[in-house]
Amino acid sequence: MPVILRGQRECGKIFIGNKDTVRRKGGKHMLLFYVRHGDPTYDPDCLTPLGRRQAEAVGRRLATFGVDKVFASTSTRAMQTAQPVCEMLKTEMTTLDFAHEGRAWEDLALDVDGGRRMWGFDIPKYRRMFIDEGVKRMGNEWYDHPYFEDTTFKRGMHRVIRESDKWLASLGYEHDHEANCFRAVRPNDDRIALFAHAGFGLAFLSNVLDIPYPSMCVHFDMCHTGMTVIEFKETHGICIPKTLILSGDGHLLRDGMPTNYNNLVRF
């Protein structure tokens, strides 16, 4: 069972925490919980029975200390993953269409032989391009490299950046791309959960963390209901987001479910 902190109250079998017991001292610290959806069937778009159990598990994890706002992609599998924590905390879910996997898929995936379509980071040719020294030297403008002139990568990244920055600004943090940080225009201690996807998520996190997308998508990934926690700590009006955990799956282990990567690699 979760550790019961002073000020917590029991709600069924879930301990709903008083968020004041977990606030950090020394300035404001917004926490962003980015959660990938559970084990899915992509057609139709929904969770499998395993995915629903995973969603319950991550819901219990989040409900332990609570969240202030719950957001989800407009994809059914993402909304189904968010539903348990909404029910546990009796809170409403707000959907974000820009976080839908299909929007990122339109521009960050490419057609390959055989009529298939794949994420650029899953295509060996583009994986090698992404680690090319010339591409790395271009930093956040990597998509202007001649390698990518026949792709829609630039359009896709601009959309993710524009919409993500608009959403984060609504939460109190304005992205300063020249300074590679955020301006804390309304610093707060909110705990924000966003349930979405891996394909969109890699582009989203690359923007939030100011890590060029090629490096982010080649070297990092996330598992089903993997929970990434990013701290927005304000210091003198500035915030440099820090990843406290990437794709954590301790909730699955605790509930006796397999811990693996896309049902392929067990660990």
* CATH number where 256 lies: 3.40.50.1240
**Cα–Cα distance, 56 to 63 (Å, whole number):** 10
User: Number of folded domains in the chain?
Assistant: 1
On whether residue 156 sits in a domain, the answer given is yes
Residues ≥6 apart with Cβ < 8 Å to 24: none
111 φ/ψ angles, rounded to the nearest 5 degrees? -75, 140
92 φ/ψ angles, rounded to the nearest 5 degrees? -85, 150
On whether residue 108 sits in a domain, the answer given is yes
**Cα–Cα distance, 16 to 180 (Å, whole number):** 36
On whether residue 3 sits in a domain, the answer given is no
Tell me, what's the pLDDT at 242? 98
Reply yes or no: is the peptide bond before residue 84 cis, omega within 30 of 0.
no
Chain mean position to CA 46: 18
Tell me, what's the pLDDT at 25? 57
Enumerate residue ranges in the chain where pLDDT < 50: 1-16, 18, 21
Tokens of 35: 């959660």
> pTM for the complete prediction?
0.90
On whether residue 67 sits in a domain, the answer given is yes
On whether residue 151 sits in a domain, the answer given is yes
Tell me, what's the pLDDT at 161? 99
Residue-number span of the structural domain to which 40 is assigned: 26-187+198-241+250-260
Tell me, what's the pLDDT at 267? 84
On whether residue 117 sits in a domain, the answer given is yes
On whether residue 206 sits in a domain, the answer given is yes
On whether residue 5 sits in a domain, the answer given is no
pLDDT in tens, 185-198: 999 999 999 999 99
